[in-house]
Structure 1
């Protein structure tokens, strides 16, 4: 049997009154959904690897109890989402890679070093991202996070494994606009938010996933009528649409293309073609690096 109080103390810092209150709410919600929580515990008790994941990252027990991932998700949907994500990783990634990811170790997927600094994409997990996902692709410059794409992996309605984007987060630093402008110039006028989506698409393909879905403005877990003060810095829906996405029957999600559309040279004004060639060369380099990096993580 799962001891909810003991588990809550692993998740929350009870010295903090707010965290202590959250722990109390967590225990009550677990008791109200005891049958599903025990099934979740059975899932993480099925072998040593799953047990180590839950021990390293006890938040997998908290996530189903809170209104995370997407708007109007149910307790059972969240629990199943956690189970399926972990099932995919355990089935496809090396054991030490899975454990390292949930111990906070980033895996570099592509990197470039110049006078501006160390620019790179990383596959990473941080507990602070758990509201929107179970892993992320992060675009980092030196020690700064420029963009993060938080996601989870689970089957779609057709039973195909898919990557589900819970949120995209931009930079949070004093000189963010200046830094993003410099990185955009370094990437040959390629916007950083397009760059992080491109990397996410390539990572999904390298993992053998068949579809990409993304949470819309309506589908965002905190974007509802009760909290009108919660404003999104970026309109997810607008960005998914301009990136070639199309709305799903479920208005909480967009389906995104697996591959970013590239203009042909004939479609590009002559004065811009040199810049586009350099950009496409960079993207080809990124694509090859991500494919090779993820291949090294697979079983």
Structure 2
């Protein structure tokens, strides 16, 4: 890297310190000293991320609304045990995923607004839900991209966070976290949401949406997920302050994932559906409506990336 370009990157970081607003803003002397020190410690990786941002037509301006991005190589990120070089590579690959597979109009909207509406759907009680794809993520340590399920009041019912990582030269969609509902929503409300979606659990729906997205984009990437022993909150930095509240291992196992020696979970295929013959007769109607709901969400996502209007928006099943 030429000295002149290195200076441009450092100037970018100085401008982010000075003008960055929002999540991860470096707005106190203590934060600024820490950021400068850590940037020096992890200089090669910091320069790599900075170079990518400077050359990126969208991020070079939008970075000032998401200064957190330049600090991610300084902390545990995506899964436990990544070194700073691997973190930088994952961050870059995650935005390359958007640039390479999304239509230009959608990628521009995503970078500008931070979210895309993938689907809106009405359920049993005539309430409706929305599924968003987001960047500039809430759960910033767990990846670069969120898939969110929200109700009609924009309350978040669940969030799946993922990034892209290379494993043995194979690109992998790696789920770094799967979060439940906002604290404001009680357990009874979530039970009602599940009931109104014909017994479809919100977290399972989010994974289905990820599979639909990967299928629509035809990425041919592997899919993997963090587990109880690889989540970033098992890193030494967080063990005394943060705890994993979910049993990731049991959930992924319920989706027929298998665990490798590295303690990550891998998915060989999308979720298999039961045939109607396998389902007790009294539950068949519910399953048919559930499958119809999933089919329409998948169609919404396909239409979104084809540039067509979503015909199924607000349909009741």
Are 1:247 and 2:259 an aligned pair?
Answer: yes
- Judging changes above 3 Å, is the alpha-carbon distance between structure 1 residues 20 and 271 closer, same or farther for their aligned structure 2 residues? farther
Contact 2:129 2:151 in 1 (8 A): yes
Are 1:234 and 2:246 an aligned pair?
Answer: yes
Deviation at 1:37, TM superposition (A): 2.1
Aligned to 2:30: 21
Are 1:285 and 2:296 an aligned pair?
Answer: yes
Are 1:132 and 2:145 an aligned pair?
Answer: no
TM-score for the superposition, normalised by structure 1: 0.87
Are 1:266 and 2:277 an aligned pair?
Answer: yes
- Judging changes above 3 Å, is the alpha-carbon distance between structure 1 residues 218 and 191 closer, same or farther for their aligned structure 2 residues? same
The secondary structure found in structure 1 opposite 2:307 is helix
Q: Distance in 1 between matches of 2:267 and 2:247?
A: 15
Q: Distance in 1 between matches of 2:47 and 2:62?
A: 17
Contact 1:132 1:150 in 2 (8 A): yes
Q: How does 1:99-118 map to 2 (within 5 A)?
A: 99-113=108-122, 116-118=126-128
Q: CA-to-partner distance for each residue in 1:197-253, whole Å, 9 max, x for gaps?
A: 1112111222223221111111111124662553222111110111111112311x1
Deviation at 1:13, TM superposition (A): 4.4
The unaligned stretches of length 5 or more in structure 1 are none
Q: Distance in 1 between matches of 2:305 and 2:65?
A: 22
The unaligned stretches of length 5 or more in structure 2 are 1-6, 309-317
The secondary structure found in structure 2 opposite 1:91 is helix
Q: CA-to-partner distance for each residue in 1:109-136, whole Å, 9 max, x for gaps?
A: 1112365533011111244321111111
Contact 1:133 1:150 in 2 (8 A): yes
The secondary structure found in structure 2 opposite 1:128 is coil
- Judging changes above 3 Å, is the alpha-carbon distance between structure 1 residues 6 and 175 closer, same or farther for their aligned structure 2 residues? closer
Are 1:147 and 2:155 an aligned pair?
Answer: no
Aligned residues: 292
Q: Distance in 2 between matches of 1:119 and 1:155?
A: 34
Q: Distance in 1 between matches of 2:74 and 2:107?
A: 23
Q: Distance in 1 between matches of 2:247 and 2:83?
A: 24
Q: Distance in 2 between matches of 1:269 and 1:113?
A: 26
Q: Distance in 1 between matches of 2:282 and 2:299?
A: 28
Are 1:169 and 2:179 an aligned pair?
Answer: yes
Contact 1:108 1:121 in 2 (8 A): yes
